[in-house]
Amino acid sequence: MAPLKVTRSIRHVIAFVFQVILGSIAFLLFYLVAAGVSYAVGSINKWLSLTAPWLLGASNYIEIALFGLDVIAFGLFAVFELAHFARALWRQWVDE
């Protein structure tokens, strides 16, 4: 009976490490998208300052709104990942 329990524990550790790796990759991809949006907004600001300076104030509001959406999305992502890891740990604890 002991080898089965060790095998199950090893399987859970491997699954947990795999989840951490996938979560890290997803976080990095999400961060790259957020950085791309920030770069795009910066480019729009530069373009507006050269072509239509009277719209620059509206662009600042757009940038603030996008930053707010970024913060909300990062928060939701963090809550989702924590809930996912908590569920995985709970299932591991219940299985053993």
Contacts of 85 (CB under 8 A, 6+ apart): 16, 19, 20, 23
3-7, 31-35, 86-90: least confidently modelled range: 3-7
**Domain contains 67:** yes
Q: Which domain holds residue 58?
A: 21-95
**Domain contains 91:** yes
**Domain contains 12:** no
Per cent of the chain over pLDDT 70 is 84
Q: What is the number of domains present in the chain?
A: 1
CA angle at residue 30 from 29 to 36, to 5 degrees?
90
User: Are the CB atoms for 12 and 92 separated by under 8 Å?
Assistant: yes
Quote the CA–CA distance of 39 and 44 in Å, as a whole number. Answer: 9
For residue 92, pLDDT over 60 is answered with: yes
Q: Which two tokens stand for residue 20?
A: 């951490």
pTM for the model stands at 0.47
pLDDT at residue 51, as a whole number: 79
**Domain contains 1:** no
pLDDT digits (tens, 9 = 90+) for 50-79: 777 776 667 677 777 777 777 787 778 778
Q: Kindly state the average pLDDT of the residues 10-30.
A: 78
User: Are the CB atoms for 27 and 77 separated by under 8 Å?
Assistant: yes
